Structure formats: C-alpha cells, structure tokens
C-alpha cells in the first residue's frame, strides 16, 4: 500500500525521535523550558515585511504565477550580484533563478529532477555529507537513488571528502549535496574546495547542489559562494558559467522569516527550468503577499547586519561559558554549537531531566557508516534565542554536564 522507500528506508524524523527519547523523562517544573534543539530563529522579521504581508490583500483570490513575480526574481538576481560580486546583467531573472517554498523544497526537488533511471551502468547514487540536513536524504531516497553518506568530522574539518570517492562510484553519482556553512558544524567551504568539487561534478556529469541558506550568518569573513567560484572557473566566455550547479538560499535565517517559507534556487538555467516544470505539476505556489514581502527583504541590507550581530553576541556568551569544554569552537557560520559530550543521547536526557533544556543528539543528524555513527558523541545546540535566554540555557547546560 505504501512506498517502501518512505516506510523502510527513511526512519523517523530527528525531532520525532527526540520526542520519543524524552517522553519518559519528567523535566523540573520550577525551571522554564529553554528549547535549543530547533534551528528556528527567535528574532523578529523586519516590520516593513510584516506590513507588506498584512496589507497585500488583492492577491489572495488569484493563483500566483509558478515562475515567480518578476519583481521578486529581479530582487533575487540583484542580491546575488551584490553578495557575490557578480557582473551586472549576467543573471537573467527569467532563466537563472526560481523562487521556492524555502530552501528545503529546493534541495528536496533537485535529486528528483537530476537523477536518471540509470547512470554509469547501474543505479544512480546521490552523495551527501554525514551529518546532513534531512531533506537531502529524503530527496535522494525518494528519487530512487542509492544514498552515499560521506562523513564530515573533525579530522577533515567537518567537510565531506568527496575527492576521496573512487572513479567508478563517481560515474554513478547524479547529485552531490554540500551545505556551506554546514549544518550542524558551521564549517565553511573554501573557494579551493568548491573549485575542485565543481570540477569533479562536471567531469562526471553530476549536479552539485550547494545549500547556502546559512550564508548570511557568519562570525568572520563572509563565506564564498559557489556561483562566484564557478564564474571564476568559466571557460565558456560567459555562455554557460553555471553548468551542473544549483545553489539554494532562504529568508528563514537571513531575515528571521522561517514562517514565510520563502527561498530560491539559482544556477544552471537547464536545472532551473526543470525545477519550474516540477513545481508546475506538484509544487505549492507562493502567495503574492509572500513574494512581495520577499522581494523587499532581498532588497534590504540593513536587517541582515542586525541579525548577524544577534548571533555574534550569542557566540560571545558561548565562548565565555564553554570555551574550554566539550571541544568547543566558534563556527565560521550558522548558529549551532556542535559539542562533544561523550554520549549525545545520554547528555540530551540529562539536560531535559535536570535543566529543562532541550537539545538534539548529534546521532539523529547522522547515519551509521561501516557500523559507526560518527556523531553519537555530539549534541547540536541552536543559539537562536536572545542573549539573556542563551546565557541561561548554556549556564544550565554547563552546570549539568
């Protein structure tokens, strides 16, 4: 009756597993809950965007265009030009970008549209980092591909070693996922790393899907983007600089607008066109009000500075409290702590039972390879609250563990 890929290959979602882990445990009622398990920004979306959503009433009785409002597509292209120093006019709003319902929808779709029935004489492979964002695995499995989980641990700088994959395997790979800055470790791919990976994907006719949804949350220099690296590599004279490449962004982290479910895919026009085709048949259309508010958010460069400062304050608090414990490091980007606590599940239960703090066991972001879950020692802690709540949560964590 059911698709076995969904019922047998995909296990329960991490937060369902977390709830089951904590269900038998009664937290201390005298302490208020501090939920640091979910990467859901707690800051306010800018007032001007809330105003647009509230006042935009004309479009609610109409179907929005599948291809996105021209003003939104243009705003996305202009933002990419500013952020990644791309030449004006290089990106065509009708060909190089397409709005999606958050970056999650985009990274899920890409495996479906880019995975053939066979590749390299066998079942196609989709490669993804391990730990990983769950939508990557969902896209890989439900496209019919064989998932290849490539460990990203401290030994390799928390970035997957795709160069180490043998040539016979590469010939079967249809899609390669990368998250930079990485969720959960916050590692940032260098221009050299991206250059080599783009080259490998082009050599083997695979699609490189780069999830850059944390690219506006960084603690040092702004992360390099895959589009600008690809452009620097271009040997086609600008005719096809983004071939085999798709990047994904979202307003969830940049603008504290997770509830808008607004993002986009950009890159190879052939891939963008297939995303549009896929969404025409089954994807949700993004309401006019959401698209218009999104255009305004991509055009504004003031609120992202404030957002970054919010997280930088939280990392300063984390440094003060945890700097010499749990293998603490301040990540290059994103807003998670990736803490080595010896046993992630045990630490999670202890924090819930004694401190009323909820975190996520690292093992729930990861799968076993060769019989080992390389993230079982870790917990993921989301620094999404205000500075005061973050201090209280980390103080409880430090006192209990």
Any idea what the CATH number is for the domain that residue 377 is in? 3.90.1150.10
Q: Is the pLDDT of residue 81 over 80?
A: yes
Q: Is 154 exposed, middle or buried (0-12, 13-18, 19+ CB in 10 A)?
A: middle
Whole-number pLDDT of residue 135: 93
Domain boundary among the residues 299, 319, 342 is at: 299
Q: Look at residues 299, 323, 344 and tell me which one is the last residue of a structural domain.
A: 299
Q: Is residue 54 part of a domain?
A: no
Percent of the chain with pLDDT over 90: 88
The CATH number of whichever domain residue 218 belongs to comes to: 3.40.640.10
Would you state the pLDDT for residue 191?
98
In a shared domain, residues 267 and 311:
no
Torsion angle, alpha carbons of 151, 152, 153, 155, to 10: 90
pLDDT of residue 161: 96
DSSP state of 401: -
Out of 213-227, 241-255, 282-296, least confident range: 282-296
Q: Tell whether 203 is covered by a domain.
A: yes
Q: Is residue 79 part of a domain?
A: yes
pLDDT the model gives residue 7: 74
294 and 328 co-located in one domain: no
**What pLDDT does 282 receive?**
85
pLDDT of residue 5 exceeding 80, the answer is no
Rounded CA separation 5/15 (Å): 20
User: What's the domain range around 362?
Assistant: 4-44+303-400
Confidence bin at 60 (pLDDT 50/70/90): confident
Q: Averaged over 140-147, what is the pLDDT?
A: 94
CB 328 within 8 A of CB 317: no
How many domains in the chain? 2
Segments in 23-69 forming alpha helices (H): 47-55
Dist. CA 243–CA 329, nearest whole Å: 36
Q: What is the pLDDT of residue 1?
A: 78
Q: Answer whether residue 237 shows pLDDT above 80.
A: no
Residues 193 and 213 in one domain: yes
The overall average pLDDT reported for the chain is: 95
Are 129 and 150 spatial neighbours (Cβ–Cβ below 8 Å)? yes
**Dihedral of the alpha carbons of 230, 231, 235, 237, in degrees to the nearest 10:** 150
Last residue of a domain, one of 299, 332, 352: 299
Asked whether residue 184 falls in the same domain as residue 248, the answer is: yes
Query: Is residue 283 located within the same domain as residue 344?
Result: no
Q: Is residue 51 part of a domain?
A: no
Residues 253 and 394 placed together within one structural domain of the fold: no
Across 176-202, average pLDDT: 98
């Amino acid at each position: 009756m059911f698709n076995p890929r969904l019922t047998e290959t995909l296990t329960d979602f991490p937060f369902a597993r977390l709830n089951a882990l904590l269900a038998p445990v009664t937290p201390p009622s005298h302490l208020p809950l501090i939920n640091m398990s979910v990467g859901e920004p707690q800051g306010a979306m800018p007032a001007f965007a809330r105003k647009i959503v509230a006042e935009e009433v004309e479009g609610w009785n109409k179907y929005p265009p599948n291809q996105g409002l021209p003003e939104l597509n243009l705003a996305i292209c202009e933002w990419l030009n500013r952020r990644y120093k791309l030449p004006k006019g290089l990106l065509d709003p009708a060909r190089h970008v397409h709005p999606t319902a958050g970056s999650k929808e985009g990274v899920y779709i890409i495996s479906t549209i880019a995975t053939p029935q066979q590749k390299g004489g066998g079942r196609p492979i989709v490669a993804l980092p391990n730990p990983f964002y769950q939508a990557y695995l969902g896209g890989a499995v439900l496209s019919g591909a064989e998932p290849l989980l490539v460990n990203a641990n401290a030994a390799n700088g928390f970035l997957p070693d795709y160069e180490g994959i043998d040539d016979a395997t590469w010939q079967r790979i249809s899609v390669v996922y990368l998250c930079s800055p990485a969720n959960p470790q916050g590692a940032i791919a260098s221009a050299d790393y991206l250059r080599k990976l783009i080259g490998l994907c082009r050599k083997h006719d695979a699609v490189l899907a780069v999830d850059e949804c944390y690219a506006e949350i960084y603690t040092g220099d702004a992360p390099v983007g895959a589009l600008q690296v690809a452009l620097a590599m271009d040997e086609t004279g600008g005719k096809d600089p983004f071939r085999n490449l798709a990047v994904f962004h979202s307003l969830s982290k940049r603008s504290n607008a997770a509830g808008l479910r607004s993002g986009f895919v950009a890159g190879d026009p052939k891939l963008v066109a297939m995303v549009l085709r896929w969404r025409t048949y089954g994807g949700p259309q993004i309401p006019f009000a959401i698209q218009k508010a999104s255009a305004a958010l991509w055009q504004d460069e003031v609120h992202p500075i404030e957002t970054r400062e919010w997280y930088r304050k939280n990392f300063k608090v984390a440094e003060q409290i945890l700097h010499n414990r749990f293998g603490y490091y301040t990540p290059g980007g994103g807003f998670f702590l990736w803490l080595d606590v010896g046993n992630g599940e045990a630490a999670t239960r202890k924090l819930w039972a004694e401190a009323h703090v909820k975190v996520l066991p690292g093992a729930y972001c990861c799968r076993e390879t060769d019989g080992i879950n390389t993230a079982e020692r870790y917990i993921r802690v989301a620094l999404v609250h205000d500075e005061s709540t973050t201090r209280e949560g980390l103080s409880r964590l430090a006192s209990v563990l």
